[in-house]
Amino acid sequence: MFIENVEWQVRQQPHHAMLAIFRRKTRVAIALFLVLLLYLLVGLIPEHNDTLFGFTYVRSSYDWSKQPFHYPITDYTPLPTGRPLTLPKVQYAFTTDTSPDGIAREEVLASRRAEVKNAFVKSWTSYRNIGFGYDELMPVSGKGRDAPGFGGWGATLVDSLSTLWIMGLKDEFYEAAAAAVTIDWARTRDTSCNFFETTIRHLGGLLGAYDLSLETALLEKAIELGDMLYMAYDTPNHMPPFWLDFSDAKRGSQVAGYHDPSASVTSSSLEFTRLAQLTGDNKYYDAINRVTLVLDDWQNRTTLPGMWPTSFDFAQLQLDSDSSFTLGALADSLYEYLPKTYAILGGLEPVYEKLYRGAMDTVIKNLLFRPNTPDQDDILFSGNVYVSDTGPHLTAEAQHLGCFVGGMFGLGGKLFHIPEHLEIGEKITRGCVWAYDAMPTGIMPEIFDLLKCETLDPCEWDESGWQDTADTQLKRGFQNARDPRYLLRPEAIESVFLMYRMTGNPEYQEMAWRMFQAIRKATETDLAFSSIESVRDVVTVKSDSMESFWLAETLRYFYLIFSSPDLINLDEYVLNTEAHPLKRPR
């Protein structure tokens, strides 16, 4: 077309005009060639690209599947075989209400759903226009930035794929998917990646997007990443470290850590199991099964039998050197993944039920507490335990991160026929909502301390004791709001959503709407939404941060709770800790 256009102009113009046209077109062609050459030189157009399943697919410039193992395994433990068990239903048996009240209710839910979607679209559009390809958008200053340990691989891009699909934003989904399948895992300024975060956000994001869309290019990109992350297990004892150091992995000098967060080194079972199911390659399942065997071996040998400590010495396989225990930060998804991995394996590996039951028995006896409030509210929280020579000592510290526990208890109660666990899950979930309602902004703080009853039963309120020890500007029952930030976290709405889907109780939808309105009011910026410095101040100070889980989890859970229960049915999917839906075997 370029040549034809020039020939036509040549026939129509005088000689001097022809020369001008040729010069102008030549300059354009040279400029385009130089731009292309520059892009190739700086690596902006990767060399290993072809068309794959309808996408322009870029293969990573380092193929980890061909990396020799320094500590090879000769016999992989295979995925459990046989037909998946018929597991108990997790989701409530919803029915369609065709009455006038039911139709009016659906109109309300549709309106709320639209408002959540608008918040997502606003956030996504700003990310797309300003920070596309970066890990995060800075929602106040309007810049993109990469997060340490995330490789600069577009965490928000990959983390948002499933939400785009779920919200019906298919054009945006395919635009994002086309970018995701060009990621080159070897192109990064970082010398290592955060093994846990890369697994849950990038690998989980690609697998979830594949399970929804069945776009094979996404699975191929997940396999590339899975082969890189699998190298974290190529250590002398096959236990993974917190950081996957690329050079150490290549030369065989990688070892497990002496003091790593327990969640970080044990929370790959869902993603690696699903990858094994989709590829038929047992190496992924073998890797996580070895970690599970260690958990099983140590469950009743720690300083708080039944649970595992907050940090692990995986280098020496000593899990009794730390005497702190929590379901909150640093340990959370270790416990979350026990019932979820049982479900994604179709109930064919009973060890996950054993681990869950043993751990939750200890949690109920030692970590759960009822806050002491004037109204004797029937709510529970999960605290922290420190074990000394005189035994376990519970501190009544609550964390926003710990709000996932309500949903976990509910899921375990459903899957394992433990009705009291569903009741406990409801009380924990309502406790988090109570903490939201207690703050001036209507949002729960990151970390706070409460007065506690001595047992899980109601106890008498002590006004004088509270005034002597607490910040009296807070609601009665609170001692402080030690970390008053809100980081756009999803854990509270996660449990509210799960409880709604498990019980069918529409009260949870009302709680969710109240929470969403409060969060939107307190965090919205001109561009998107930002974490805030304090939930105690109605006029909020924005901290210019919007982590990828805002789009991947928080808004996804808000959208789903107002959607049809058939959208991501809990009997068909397991949600990983980043809310990516992975298909359950049937």
Catalytic positions: 197, 332, 446, 491
Q: Which two tokens stand for residue 118?
A: 């608008």
Question: 403: closest CA among 474, 498, 294, 476?
Answer: 498
Q: Which two tokens stand for residue 322?
A: 């730390």
Q: What are the C-alpha distances in Å from 356 to residues 77, 263, 413, 571?
A: 22, 15, 10, 19
- The DSSP code sequence of 235-295 is STTSPPPSEEEHHHHHHT-----SSEEHHHHH--HHHHHHHHHHH--HHHHHHHHHHHHHH
Burial class of residue 410 (count of CB atoms within 10 Å of its CB; 0-12, 13-18, 19+)? buried
For the four alpha carbons of 115, 121, 126 and 132, in that order, the dihedral sign comes to positive
Rounded Cα–Cα distance for residues 302 and 304 (Å): 5
Rounded Cα–Cα distance for residues 266 and 336 (Å): 11
Of the CA atoms within 13 Å of residue 399, those in its CB half-sphere come to: 16
Residue found by looking up tokens 């200890």 in the block = 362
Rounded Cα–Cα distance for residues 164 and 141 (Å): 25
Amino acid, res. 400: H
Burial class of residue 47 (count of CB atoms within 10 Å of its CB; 0-12, 13-18, 19+)? exposed
Report residue 345 CA to chain centroid gap.
Answer: 20
Rounded Cα–Cα distance for residues 353 and 340 (Å): 10
Q: Which residues lie below 8 Å from residue 584, measured CB to CB, with a gap of 6+?
A: 84, 343, 344, 346, 571, 572, 573, 574
Rounded Cα–Cα distance for residues 577 and 579 (Å): 5
Of the CA atoms within 13 Å of residue 204, those in its CB half-sphere come to: 29
Helix H segments across 315-350? 332-344
- Determine how β-strand 143-145 pairs with β-strand 49-52: unpaired
Contact between 336 and 494 (Cβ < 8 Å): no
Residue 391, phi then psi, degrees to nearest 5: 115, -170
Question: 410: closest CA among 319, 513, 534, 499?
Answer: 499
Q: Which two tokens stand for residue 247?
A: 């050079």
Rounded Cα–Cα distance for residues 137 and 133 (Å): 10
Contact between 371 and 396 (Cβ < 8 Å): yes
Rounded Cα–Cα distance for residues 203 and 117 (Å): 25
Q: Which residues lie below 8 Å from residue 446, measured CB to CB, with a gap of 6+?
A: 399, 400, 483, 484, 485, 486, 487, 489
